[in-house]
Amino acid sequence: MNKAQSNRMRKGSIARGAAWSIGVLVLLGAAGLGVSVASGGGDTTPTGGAGLPADRTAAKKLAFDVTTTANGELEARDKIEIRNPLDQQSTITQIIPEGTWAKKGDLLVQLNTDDLQQKIDEESLRLESGNADLVAAENAYNIQINENESKLRQAQLKVALAELALRQWQEGDVRKKRQELTLAIDKAGLELERLAEKFRRSQELLQEGFISKDECDRDEVSYIEAISTYTTANLAMKVYEQYEYTKDEKTKQSDLDEAKSELERTKLNNEIELASKDAKRNNQRASVTIMKNRLEKMTKDRNAATIKAPSDGLVVYSTSLDAMRWGRSDGPLQIGQQVYPNQLLVILPDTSEMVASVRVNESLAGKVKPGQKVSVKVDAVGGAIFSGQVDSIGVMAESGGWRDPNLREYSVRVTMDAKNAGLKPAMRCEAKITLDTVPEVVTVPVQSVFNDGPVQYVYQPDGGHYIRTPVRVGRRSETLAEITSGLDSGTVVSLREPRGGEAIISPWNHDDLKKLGYRIGEDGKVLPEITAMPASAPAKAAQKDEDKANEKSDKG
């Protein structure tokens, strides 16, 4: 490694400012994060001890805390947000002064309801008309029921009459007709026999000279007429049985079938008419319900336009919070100002219990855990410091906005032991979060640690020169670095990078590096650390392959 590279690495080590890592070096100074250390004992001064030059120091066993500083503002743990309850734009006609301590039931904001009242009046008229239409629809439905019953009775009566007519014809008219025709045939037959016998005797008497021929001829005419009458009677029976009976039967049956069909049509028409009236009735009923609900909603909105305090609390305008958080200065809420639906108007924070909402860079968010100790400094109350602990960490990172679009920070909520301390929302605060507590371990100042690719090392004095000693570095603070292996307590190291000619740069001994846990590839180069990777199946497989490669390298 040349001197220029060493200088760059040393400068990077000194400028880390807010560095913290486990197994790997994480540079956080560029993100503007501060990390500090609180020693558990011993001298933490990054200069040498007794008998050592100012540019040297001895490794020491120390316990220290790894912390990070985050800025933010105070907010009430519990707060009530008062928003515009209307579904339309409105204007403020009355508002309580900001900073007032409101009591439950006090008027906070009065919104203009003139347009809403006009809509309520119009909807009330529509509802009255709708109720009248509903009554008419109900009556039409009931009338239709009566009409259906009447039509059904008439159709059923026609069926009954047709059945009676058919039965009357079958059991009365047909029998009567057949009896009449049979009687006519019998009568004609008897008359024919009588006249035939009379005509025969007349012929005998004519031959004997007892009667005149004229009288005999009259008997013959009577006989011929009797034959015709008898033939006609039989023909009438035949015509009736073959034609008139069938015609009358079909006519009567057709009348009955038609009556039954009319009954079915009446039933279907009744269902259709009743369903139509019922649909109109239900539609009108639904329309009235909609109008009622709309009127109730409007009335509720009109009443909600008078916004009262649901509980006691300090009145804070939403515009004040926007100005503090986002730098917007549209001015405070005032009478005549237009507000939009669901717009945040007033906040009633419970100032008896405050929390700090601070922002931590995304590179440190994974180190912040609920329950970690925090000290919160509030300049607005004389720089007072309050103890607390991490309550929660935001799920999603927040962007730095147009000022720093590449910045990603997580919101951290810190509970504070500061009841009744006179704190107010939006006060600026500085929180020092204890990320980790390192027990007594071997430590050196962070400026004593240098990097050669994946290898971390320190400079040890060797006569008038310095030699590189590889080490493994664990946790870091702003000033101290934990040495997990490669260096014992009391070992003297350099606080600076040697000047030209002072350092003896020798190639790394692979055996020494392996003892420290470094991994050597097949090409003889030190492999980068992967300890920060998740222990997933692919990572384990890669680790296994690299271990095999190291074994082959050792055998070679």
List pLDDT tens digits, range 243-298: 999 999 999 999 999 999 999 999 999 999 999 999 999 999 999 999 999 999 99
With 0-12 / 13-18 / 19 or more C-beta atoms within 10 angstroms meaning exposed / middle / buried, residue 114 is exposed
- Residues 97-121 have pLDDT tens digits of 988 888 999 999 999 999 999 999 9
- State mean pLDDT over 216-242: 94
First to last CA, the chain: 26
Q: Which fold has domain 86-112+307-343?
A: OB fold (Dihydrolipoamide Acetyltransferase, E2P) (2.40.50)
Please tell me the distance from the alpha carbon of residue 167 to that of residue 248, in angstroms, as a whole number. Answer: 12
Q: Does residue 48 surpass a pLDDT of 60?
A: no
Please tell me the distance from the alpha carbon of residue 288 to that of residue 277, in angstroms, as a whole number. Answer: 16
Closest CA to 380 of 418, 349, 330: 418
Mean of the per-residue pLDDT values of the chain: 84
116-303 matches 3-73+361-385+426-513 in CATH topology? no
Q: Residue 522: its pLDDT value, please?
A: 87
Please tell me the distance from the alpha carbon of residue 261 to that of residue 238, in angstroms, as a whole number. Answer: 34
Please tell me the distance from the alpha carbon of residue 312 to that of residue 257, in angstroms, as a whole number. Answer: 84
Q: Is 102 helix (H, G, I), strand (E, B) or coil?
A: strand
> What are the angstrom distances between the C-alpha of 237 and each of 185, 242, 324, 542, 552?
8, 8, 119, 117, 129
Boundaries of every domain in the chain: 3-73+361-385+426-513, 86-112+307-343, 116-303, 519-556
Q: Does residue 49 surpass a pLDDT of 60?
A: no
Percent of the chain with pLDDT over 90: 60
Closest CA to 188 of 249, 236, 128: 236
Q: Does residue 323 surpass a pLDDT of 60?
A: no
Q: Residue 26: its pLDDT value, please?
A: 30
Q: Architecture of 3-73+361-385+426-513 per CATH?
A: Beta Barrel (2.40)
- CA triple 384-388-389, angle to 5 deg: 150
Q: Residue 126: its pLDDT value, please?
A: 95
The β-bridge relationship of strands 428-445 and 373-378 is antiparallel
- Residues 415-474 have pLDDT tens digits of 999 877 888 888 899 999 999 889 999 999 999 999 999 999 999 999 889 999 999 999
Q: Residue 31: its pLDDT value, please?
A: 30
The β-bridge relationship of strands 107-111 and 306-308 is antiparallel
Pull the structure tokens for residue 440: 């007594």
Helices (H), 87-173: 114-168
Which distant-in-sequence residues (6+ apart) come within 8 Å of 536 by Cβ? Answer: none
Top mean pLDDT of 347-351, 405-409, 454-458 is at: 454-458
What is 116-303's CATH number? 1.10.287
CB contact at 8 A, 482 and 465: no
Q: Is 48 helix (H, G, I), strand (E, B) or coil?
A: coil
Residue whose structure tokens are 């439950």? 104
CB contact at 8 A, 412 and 432: no
Closest CA to 473 of 450, 506, 503, 498: 450
CB contact at 8 A, 91 and 336: yes
Find residue 92's DSSP bridge partners: 111
Q: Does residue 553 surpass a pLDDT of 60?
A: no
pTM of the model: 0.51
Q: Is 503 helix (H, G, I), strand (E, B) or coil?
A: strand
Q: Residue 530: its pLDDT value, please?
A: 64
523 CB-side CA count, 13 A: 3
Q: Is 537 helix (H, G, I), strand (E, B) or coil?
A: helix
Pull the structure tokens for residue 224: 């011929």
CB atoms near residue 318 (< 10 Å): 18
With 0-12 / 13-18 / 19 or more C-beta atoms within 10 angstroms meaning exposed / middle / buried, residue 170 is middle
